[in-house]
Amino acid sequence: MTRTVLESKSKTVVIGFDEPFCVIGERINPTGRKKLAAELEAGDFSTVEKDALEQVACGAMVLDVNAGVVYNSNPDPNLTEPPLMRQMIELVQGLVDVPLCIDSSVPGALEAGLAAAEGRPLLNSVTGEEERLEAILPLVKKYNVPVVAISNDDTGISEDPEVRFAVAKKIVERAADFGIPAHDIVVDPLVMPVGAMGSAGQQVFALVRKLREELGVNTTCGASNISFGLPHRHGINAAFLPMAIGAGMTSAIMNPVRPVEMEAIRAANFLMNHDPNGGEWIRFARVLEQVEAGTPFAEASKAVADASGGRGGRRRRRA
C-alpha cells in the first residue's frame, strides 16, 4: 500500500490510496500575483501570514511555499530566492502546524527550504529533464524527503499521455538508482485545459489509474488547469476533482479557499469510504450553512472547528 509520509514539527499527513484526498494549498506563491511579489520585495509578509492561516482554516492539509519573486533590485533568483525561501518557511511554520511543500525552480532555494523546514516536507519538484534529475534527486536522497515528479522532460510537455507516462517511469527508475523508493515520488501527470484539448480529462483519469497500478505511485496535479479559459470554472473543477479521485488521484495543489471545490473533495472522500460515518461531511455541512448565510468560508470553517474543539470533530473524539 503506497503511503507518502509528510511531517511538520508535530503533525503527520499521509498521502495514500486509502487516505482522504490530500489538499495542498497553493496560495503562498508570488507567481502571477504582482501585489504579493511587491510586498515580499519590500519585506512585508502580511499576505503570506493571512494566506497561511486562511488556507489551513479552510482545510489545506499541506501548504506549498514558493518564493519565486523576481526582484526589481536584483534580478538573479539564484541569489534572491534561497534567503527568501528560508524566511518564508520559518514564518509559515511558526504560524501553522501543517507539513510544507517547498516549491522552486531554483535548486539553491529548495536546499535552503529543506534546511529550514521542520519535519518531513514535500519537495516540489523534479522533472524528467536531465539537468533537473541530477540536481534534485541528490537533495531528495540527502534529506530523505518525498518529491513531486512532473512528467515533462528535455523535449517539453508531450500531448501524448503515453509519453508523459514514460517520463514518469523514467523519473521513478532514476530515483530508484539513488535509493529513493517509489512511495516517495508523487507524480504530476500534467493536466491540460479541457477547453483546448477535449481529451484532457480522460487522459488524466487514464494516466492516474496507470501510474497507480503500474508504478504504485501517488499522484498530484494543478487541478484548476483543467478549466483554464472557460466560463464557470468552479463547476468544471468541482466535477474534475471527484472524477480524478475516483480514478485514484491522491492529492492536488489547489486553492482551498474556494468552498465549491472543497465541497466536491469532501463529498468524494465520503464516497470513497474515506470518511467513516460521514463525520467530516456532517461537520462540513455546518460550514456550508454558515457560508450560505453570508459568512466568509475561512471564517465559517474556523467557527465550526472551534465549536467542535478547535481541531475538527474526528480528532476531538480521539482526545
Report which DSSP code applies to 121: P
Measured from the CB atom, is 72 or 277 closer to its own copies?
277
Report, in Å, the least distance between residue 65 CB and its own copies.
29
**Residue ranges that bind its own copies, judged by CB under 8 A:** 194-195, 198-202, 205, 226, 230-232, 235-236, 238-240, 242-243, 245-247, 263-264, 266-268, 270-273, 275-278, 281-282, 284-286, 288
Asked if 239 and 264 touch (Cβ cutoff 8 Å), the reply is yes
Report, in Å, the least distance between residue 196 CB and its own copies.
10
Report, in Å, the least distance between residue 98 CB and its own copies.
24
Burial (CB count <10 Å: 0-12, 13-18, 19+), residue 164: buried
Q: Which amino acid is residue 7, in one-letter code?
A: E
**Per DSSP, what are the bridge partners of residue 45?**
none
Using DSSP, state whether 249 is helix, strand or coil: coil
Report, in Å, the least distance between residue 43 CB and its own copies.
41
Asked if 111 and 82 touch (Cβ cutoff 8 Å), the reply is yes
Measured from the CB atom, is 45 or 240 closer to its own copies?
240
Report, in Å, the least distance between residue 182 CB and its own copies.
24
Say which residues have a Cβ less than 8 Å from residue 190's Cβ, sequence separation at least 6.
150, 151, 152, 157, 164, 221
Measured from the CB atom, is 182 or 291 closer to its own copies?
291
Report, in Å, the least distance between residue 180 CB and its own copies.
31
Measured from the CB atom, is 18 or 177 closer to its own copies?
18
Measured from the CB atom, is 34 or 160 closer to its own copies?
160
CA 262 to chain centre: 14
Say which residues have a Cβ less than 8 Å from residue 309's Cβ, sequence separation at least 6.
315, 316, 319
Q: How many CB atoms lie within 10 A of CB 274?
A: 17
Measured from the CB atom, is 79 or 285 closer to its own copies?
285
